Amino acid sequence: MEQDETSESESENEVYSVFHFGNKSNEAYKVQINVNECEIAMEIDTGASVSIMSEDTYKEYKSKFRIEPTSAKLRTYMGEQIPVIGRAIVNVIYKKESAKLPLLIVKRKGPNLLGRDWLNKLQLDWKDIFSVVGSDNQSRDLNVILEANKEVFKDELGTVKGMKAKIYVDESAVPKYFKARPLPYALKDKVEKELERLEKEGQIQQVEFSDWAAPIVPVVKENGSIRICGDYKVTVNAVSKLDNYPIPKTEDLYATLGGGQEYTKLDLNQAYQQIELDEDSKRYVTINTHKGLFRYNRLPYGVASSPVDDILITGKTREEHLNTLSEVLSRFKRIGIRLKKQKCVFMAEEVVYLGFKINKHGIYPVESKVEAIDKAPSPTNVTELKAYLGMLNYYNRFLANLSHLLKPLHVLLQKDTKWSWGKEQEKAFIESKQLLKSASVLVHFDPKKKLILACDASPYGLGAVLSHKMDDGSDKPIAYTSRTLTSAEKNYSVLEKESLAIIFGIKKFHQYLYGHPVTIITDHKPLIGLFREDKPIPTMAASRIQRHIDHIRVRNFDCTNNENEEKCDNDSDLFEPEITIPISTPETEQPQIEKTSNMTEQMEPRYPKRIRKEPSHLKDFVLK
Residues in the chain: 624
Instruction: Tell me whether residue 16 is in a domain.
Output: yes
Q: What's residue 289's pLDDT? A: 95
Query: Of 306, 324, 350, which residue constitutes the final position of a domain?
Result: 350
Strand partners of residue 364: 357
Residue among 499, 561, 563, 503 at smallest CA distance from 528: 561
Provide the edge-to-edge strand list for the sheet that holds 350-353: 350-353, 356-359, 362-365
- Asked if residue 395 has pLDDT above 60, the reply is yes
Distance CA 231, CA 216 (A): 6
> Which of 138-152, 235-249, 253-267 holds the top average pLDDT?
253-267
Distance CA 251, CA 504 (A): 17
Q: Looking at the 3D structure of the chain, how many domains does it have?
A: 4
Residue among 521, 525, 524, 526 at smallest CA distance from 570: 521
Domain holding 527: CATH number? 3.30.420.10
- Which of 79-93, 110-124, 126-140, 376-390 bottoms out in mean pLDDT, i.e. has the lowest? 126-140
Distant-in-sequence contacts of 548-554, Cβ < 8 A, 24+ apart: 548/496, 548/499, 548/500, 548/502, 548/503, 549/499, 551/503, 551/506, 552/502, 552/503, 552/506, 552/520
Q: What is the dihedral of CA 128, 134, 139, 145, to 10 degrees?
A: -70
Domain holding 18: CATH number? 2.40.70.10
Instruction: Tell me whether residue 151 is in a domain.
Output: no
Instruction: Tell me whether residue 136 is in a domain.
Output: no
Instruction: Tell me whether residue 214 is in a domain.
Output: yes
If asked whether residues 50 and 100 sit together in one domain, one would say yes
185-210 b/e (C-beta count within 10 Å ≥ 16 → b): eeeeebbeebbeebeeeebbeeeeeb
**Would you place residue 91 in the very low, low, confident or very high pLDDT band (cuts 50, 70, 90)?**
very high
- Asked if residue 6 has pLDDT above 80, the reply is no
Q: Do residues 178 and 249 make contact, with C-beta atoms less than 8 angstroms apart?
A: no
- Asked if residue 323 has pLDDT above 60, the reply is yes
Q: What's residue 555's pLDDT? A: 61
- Asked if residue 224 has pLDDT above 90, the reply is no
If asked whether residues 424 and 454 sit together in one domain, one would say no
Q: Do residues 399 and 461 make contact, with C-beta atoms less than 8 angstroms apart?
A: no
Instruction: Tell me whether residue 389 is in a domain.
Output: yes
Q: Do residues 116 and 62 make contact, with C-beta atoms less than 8 angstroms apart?
A: no
If asked whether residues 342 and 385 sit together in one domain, one would say no
Per-residue pLDDT, averaged over 551-566, amounts to 59
Provide the edge-to-edge strand list for the sheet that holds 450-457: 475-484, 461-469, 450-457, 518-522, 557-561
Tell me how far apart the 2 most distant CA atoms of the chain are, in Å. 97
Amino acid letter for position 376: A
Average pLDDT over the chain, rounded to an integer: 79
Please, how many CA atoms are within 13 Å of residue 112, restricted to the half-sphere of its CB? 23
If asked whether residues 491 and 432 sit together in one domain, one would say no
Residue 42: strand, helix, or coil: strand
If asked whether residues 537 and 603 sit together in one domain, one would say yes
If asked whether residues 27 and 59 sit together in one domain, one would say yes
- Residue bearing the bigger pLDDT, 618 or 116: 116
Q: What's residue 419's pLDDT? A: 92
The residue range of the domain holding 98 is 2-126
Distance CA 298, CA 282 (A): 8
If asked whether residues 378 and 465 sit together in one domain, one would say no
Q: What's residue 28's pLDDT? A: 67
- Asked if residue 389 has pLDDT above 50, the reply is yes
Distance CA 96, CA 94 (A): 6
Distance of CA 256 to the CA centre of its chain: 15
Per-residue pLDDT, averaged over 191-219, amounts to 94
- Which of 421-430, 530-539, 579-588 bottoms out in mean pLDDT, i.e. has the lowest? 579-588
Residues sharing a CB contact under 8 Å with residue 606, sequence separation 6 or more, in sequence order: 525, 526, 623
Distance CA 260, CA 146 (A): 21
Instruction: Tell me whether residue 137 is in a domain.
Output: no
Distance CA 198, CA 620 (A): 69
What's the pLDDT tens digit per position in 166-200?
999 988 899 999 999 999 999 999 999 999 999 99
Query: Of 320, 350, 380, which residue constitutes the final position of a domain?
Result: 350
If asked whether residues 286 and 369 sit together in one domain, one would say no
If asked whether residues 312 and 403 sit together in one domain, one would say no
If asked whether residues 198 and 332 sit together in one domain, one would say yes
- Asked if residue 473 has pLDDT above 90, the reply is no
Per-residue pLDDT, averaged over 467-491, amounts to 88
Angle between helices 423-437 and 382-393 (to 10 degrees): 20
Neighbours of 448 (CB within 10 A): 8
If asked whether residues 533 and 387 sit together in one domain, one would say no
Instruction: Tell me whether residue 146 is in a domain.
Output: no
Per cent of the chain over pLDDT 90 is: 29
Query: Of 126, 149, 175, which residue constitutes the final position of a domain?
Result: 126
Instruction: Tell me whether residue 273 is in a domain.
Output: yes
If asked whether residues 337 and 460 sit together in one domain, one would say no
Q: What's residue 529's pLDDT? A: 64
Residues sharing a CB contact under 8 Å with residue 339, sequence separation 6 or more, in sequence order: 152, 153, 266, 267, 268, 269, 332
Neighbours of 331 (CB within 10 A): 12
